[in-house]
Structure 1
Amino acid sequence: MALITFTTDFGTKDHFVGAVKGAIYTELPEATIVDITHEITPFNITETAYVVKNAYKSFPKGTIHIIGVDSELSIRNKHIAIFLDDHYFICPDNGVISMIASEIQPTKIVEINIHNHIESSFPVLDVFVKVAGFIARGGKLDVVGKEIQSYKKMIEIQPKVNQERNTIIGGIVYIDNYGNVISNISKKIFTEIGKDRAFKITARRYTFDKVFHQYNEIVDFSVEDIRQYDGNKLALFNSANYLEIAIYRSNLKTVGGASTLLGLRYRDRITIEFFDEVNPDFTPI
């Protein structure tokens, strides 16, 4: 039985999601379809990459992942199918696979060429579904396309490291449902560059010299009224191991999230500066 995930910026108002699911069931009546999300900000490749990277790993090996964001076929935006980390990805070659493939080398990449037989203004429906069905029935990637050796890379997915200045310069790649802002700075690169040194994180006019392991570490549970900590800002490495700036127990309707309260937006810069001297308030990660 085929397991297929579906990630798009289609939203749920229109017919697109339902039409694609119907086409999948027509191809594969026994398929199981899991919606990762259809609420990606329209055409936001970085946001898509972050969501897919942190979702696909929870699925069994052999799962087929259809990614329909900025998927219109053009000379600069071809369609590819990838076998990577024992998973299949069917997506546009627009950089969306960069965040996953930056850590795990793809086993095989093919440029899909069945467009020669299908004319479509809705390739996720007419092309991606056909490819998914073929793979699910045991088909080989070589049949649906010509093998290629590279894919389009997104520079903004990776932070910049300046060893001489002891800095990491990253940016905000995602804002979650709580208004917390997630950067492209991983715990791995923070640890490798920082080497347990004191540091200062800067995001606009706000600074942090401590990174927490979980949200409620900011709370002193010995005090009588712990509600005083609601709305406090903090930095932590989230469950995906990326540096996040959050508001403790944020509520977008009342308290507000880090994005609104701190004025942080998608693509805003986040800088980490490391120091050789000891910071008495520094707690190693």
Structure 2
Amino acid sequence: MRPIVTLLTDFGTADGYVAEMKGVLLTSVPDATVVDVTHDVPSQDVEAGRLAVARYWRRFPPGTVHIAVVDPGVGSSRAALAVASDGRFLVGPDNGLLSPALLAQGARVVALPVPPHAAPTFHGRDVFAPAAALLLQGVPLDSLGMPHDTPVVRRTAEAHRLADGTVAGQVITIDRFGNAITNLVTRGAAEVSVGGYTLAVRRSYADVEPGAVVALTGSNGLVEIAVRDGSAAQRLGLARGAPVLLRALR
């Protein structure tokens, strides 16, 4: 199987930055399959990038190398990381972006050296892409840098149960459809209260009429608030951190 490398950035596609990284990769590994996960992570939004990484990194075959670059601290003293986790590799900045893989049991982490010629504003091209190319060629992780035992780890805020049994959570991200994804889970009948609405948790968007607000369990297992054929974020004025309450129904 051809080696696979994925790219997630906040670079957009208008300026050629992504193409420069691909040029480095394909010069070193011409037969690589390069997968663009997204380059539309909101600028410098490490948390949005982390949540995106969590969705896909294990969906690719073992041996895949994931490059993730949302790096507002580029050029600072923050470390550059390469990670081996659950049979895959991840390369990116030490700012919590790679947390989903760092939290997996048995993850190994090294800090990559920054070459003297590396542009202090573009480690994606000059640090992360070259390291990923070496991993694609089968170079052992441990030979790329020194062990790094204290990587920055971000975790999703945990929901908590109130005295009356209600579970208090929050919106953790807004997707491109305007759906408000929460940190809540439910395995039975339940209702949520958010933005002035109280909603029974439904099975799918199609369970309500067009334009109606709906709560449902999304494909990642988390409760989300949506507007069928519309934007819940706009309709309800929701943003990251907005409170959401969940009550189990008997």
TM-score, normalising length from structure 2?
A: 0.89
**What is the rounded CA distance, in whole Å, between the counterparts of 2:203 and 2:150 in structure 1?**
36
**Aligned residue in 2 for 1:74:** 76
Which letter maps to 1:85? D
| Aligned pairs for 1:120-199 within 5 A | 120-121=119-120, 122-155=122-155, 157-162=156-161, 164=163, 166-185=165-184, 187=185, 190-191=186-187, 196=188, 199=190
CA 1:35–1:48 in 2, change beyond 3 Å: closer, same or farther? same
**Aligned residue in 1 for 2:218:** 238
Asked whether 1:205 is paired with 2:196, we answer yes
**What is the rounded CA distance, in whole Å, between the counterparts of 2:164 and 2:151 in structure 1?**
31
Asked whether 1:216 is paired with 2:196, we answer no
1:151 deviates by 2.4
1:111 deviates by 1.6
**What is the rounded CA distance, in whole Å, between the counterparts of 2:206 and 2:105 in structure 1?**
36
Q: CA RMSD in A?
A: 2.1
Secondary structure of the equivalent of 2:183? Answer: strand
Instruction: Please list the CA deviations of residues 48-84 of structure 1 after superposition, one character each: whole Å capped at 9, or x if unmatched.
Output: 1121221223211110000010161422x32111111
**What is the rounded CA distance, in whole Å, between the counterparts of 1:268 and 1:33 in structure 2?**
36
**What is the rounded CA distance, in whole Å, between the counterparts of 2:107 and 2:202 in structure 1?**
36
**What is the rounded CA distance, in whole Å, between the counterparts of 2:166 and 2:109 in structure 1?**
34
Contact (CA 8 Å) 2:190, 2:201: kept in 1 or not?
no
| Aligned pairs for 1:5-44 within 5 A | 5-44=6-45
Contact (CA 8 Å) 1:9, 1:68: kept in 2 or not?
yes
Gaps of 5+ in 1: 219-228, 251-255
Which letter maps to 2:217? F
Instruction: Please list the CA deviations of residues 15-62 of structure 1 after superposition, one character each: whole Å capped at 9, or x if unmatched.
Output: 101111111111111111000000000111121112122122321111
Contact (CA 8 Å) 1:159, 1:169: kept in 2 or not?
no
**What is the rounded CA distance, in whole Å, between the counterparts of 1:16 and 1:108 in structure 2?**
29
CA 1:96–1:142 in 2, change beyond 3 Å: closer, same or farther? same
Gaps of 5+ in 2: none
Calculate percent identity across the aligned residue pairs: 29
**Aligned residue in 2 for 1:247:** 227
More helix by share: 1
Contact (CA 8 Å) 1:201, 1:207: kept in 2 or not?
yes
CA 1:183–1:213 in 2, change beyond 3 Å: closer, same or farther? same
**What is the rounded CA distance, in whole Å, between the counterparts of 1:150 and 1:143 in structure 2?**
19
Contact (CA 8 Å) 2:53, 2:100: kept in 1 or not?
no
Which letter maps to 1:74? S
Asked whether 1:258 is paired with 2:232, we answer yes
Which letter maps to 1:206? Y
1:120 deviates by 2.1
Asked whether 1:52 is paired with 2:53, we answer yes
**What is the rounded CA distance, in whole Å, between the counterparts of 1:29 and 1:234 in structure 2?**
47
Report which of the two structures shows the higher radius of gyration computed on alpha carbons: 1
Counting matched residue pairs gives 247
1:118 deviates by 4.1
